[in-house]
Structure 1
Amino acid sequence: MNNRVKDALIRCNALAYGDFTLASGKKSEYYIDIKKASTDPYILEIIADEMAKEIENQGLQFALIGGVALGSVPLAVALSLRTKIPYVMIRKEKKDHGTQKLIEGTMPEGSKILMVEDVITSAGSVSTAIDVVRNAGGIVENVFCVVDRQSGGLEALQQKNVNLLSLITAEDVLKK
């Protein structure tokens, strides 16, 4: 368990109890509001530092960091600034205007991308983003999230031959 991240999430009041509907559609008695954390430069810096340390410890090699718009983009930016590895933003759907691209930034074909995500529940959003990247010729082997809610995301990503790394699990966050 990463106590530095847990303490930071608690300190910024990112953990709330009540009746919540998650992006996956599942109901939950608690909510981890990573947006509170990722909009605070001090907490975001802690997350990026801890991710960078774990990347080094794991010996992960990749050319780009991928952030799913909108929630994961601050994480991708912070990690990019920390590691000096460029990032791309992956949209869920094309815009009606501009370039209408699903991937913003430069991603040469064959690039290995580390996808970052704030919270993984069912891994639906990041699975869609992985498909977008792979369809554009990118390689995704790993997803790194801040919090794994331990609600099927790991298994969903394994079905896509993708490894899930997390700084902290829901079990860790909820432990007193």
Structure 2
Amino acid sequence: MNTRIKEALVRCSALMYGDFTLASGKNSPYYIDIKKASTDPYVLEVIADEMARELELQGVRYDKIAGVVLGSIPLAVALSLRTKAPYIMVRKEKKDHGTQKMIEGQLSAGDEVLVVEDVITSAGSVAGAIDIVRAAGGRVNRVFCVVNRQEGGEQKLSDMGVKLSSLITAEEVLKR
């Protein structure tokens, strides 16, 4: 278990108990508010440091880091600053003005893209982002999240040919 991440999430009050509806539509007795964590520069720094350390330990190679608008953009930026790898931003839907691009930033065909995400539950949002990056010519073989809620997301990504890595699981966060 990554105790640094758990301590940082608890310290910034990102772990909450109550009655919550998740993005997947499921109800949950707890919620992990990574947006609260990623807007705290000290916690965001811990997340980026731990992600960079794990990626290096695992020997993961990538050309670009992708964040899904809006929640994982701070994670992508922080990891980019830490590793010096450029990042891209993936939209969930096309804007009706401007360039109407689904991807902001430079992505070249064949680029190996590491997708970062805050919390993975069913992996619905990140699966859509993977499809967008792949359609634009990027190769996605790995997603790295802060928290894996262990509710089917890992299997969904595996079915897409993508490995999921996480800094911590929900089980580890909730363990007292």
Could you state the TM-score of these two structures normalised by the residue count of structure 2?
1.00
Once residues 99 and 52 of structure 1 are traced to their aligned partners in structure 2, the CA distance between those partners, rounded to angstroms, is 32
Deviation of 1:142 after TM superposition, in Å, equals 0.2
Once residues 88 and 35 of structure 1 are traced to their aligned partners in structure 2, the CA distance between those partners, rounded to angstroms, is 19
Deviation of 1:161 after TM superposition, in Å, equals 0.5
Query: Does 2:73 correspond to 1:73?
Result: yes
SS of residue paired to 1:16:
strand
Deviation of 1:95 after TM superposition, in Å, equals 0.3
Query: Does 2:5 correspond to 1:5?
Result: yes
The letter of the residue matching 1:157 is L
Deviation of 1:108 after TM superposition, in Å, equals 0.5
- Percent identity over paired residues: 70
Deviations 1:14-51 (A, max 9, x none): 00001000000011000000011000000000000000
The residue number in structure 1 matching 2:60 is 60
SS of residue paired to 1:78:
helix
The residue number in structure 2 matching 1:174 is 174
Deviation of 1:147 after TM superposition, in Å, equals 0.1
Once residues 105 and 13 of structure 1 are traced to their aligned partners in structure 2, the CA distance between those partners, rounded to angstroms, is 33
Deviation of 1:150 after TM superposition, in Å, equals 0.3
The residue number in structure 1 matching 2:94 is 94
Deviations 1:31-83 (A, max 9, x none): 00001100000000000000000000000000000000000000000000000
The residue number in structure 2 matching 1:16 is 16
SS of residue paired to 2:20:
strand
Once residues 113 and 26 of structure 1 are traced to their aligned partners in structure 2, the CA distance between those partners, rounded to angstroms, is 29
The residue number in structure 2 matching 1:82 is 82
The residue number in structure 2 matching 1:122 is 122
Once residues 172 and 145 of structure 2 are traced to their aligned partners in structure 1, the CA distance between those partners, rounded to angstroms, is 14
Once residues 59 and 155 of structure 2 are traced to their aligned partners in structure 1, the CA distance between those partners, rounded to angstroms, is 23
Deviation of 1:160 after TM superposition, in Å, equals 0.2
Deviations 1:83-103 (A, max 9, x none): 000000000110011110000
SS of residue paired to 1:171:
helix
The letter of the residue matching 2:136 is A
Query: Does 2:147 correspond to 1:138?
Result: no
Query: Does 2:136 correspond to 1:109?
Result: no
Deviation of 1:124 after TM superposition, in Å, equals 0.3
Could you state the TM-score of these two structures normalised by the residue count of structure 1?
1.00
Query: Does 2:9 correspond to 1:28?
Result: no
The residue number in structure 1 matching 2:45 is 45
Once residues 136 and 87 of structure 1 are traced to their aligned partners in structure 2, the CA distance between those partners, rounded to angstroms, is 15
Once residues 124 and 141 of structure 1 are traced to their aligned partners in structure 2, the CA distance between those partners, rounded to angstroms, is 16
The residue number in structure 2 matching 1:158 is 158
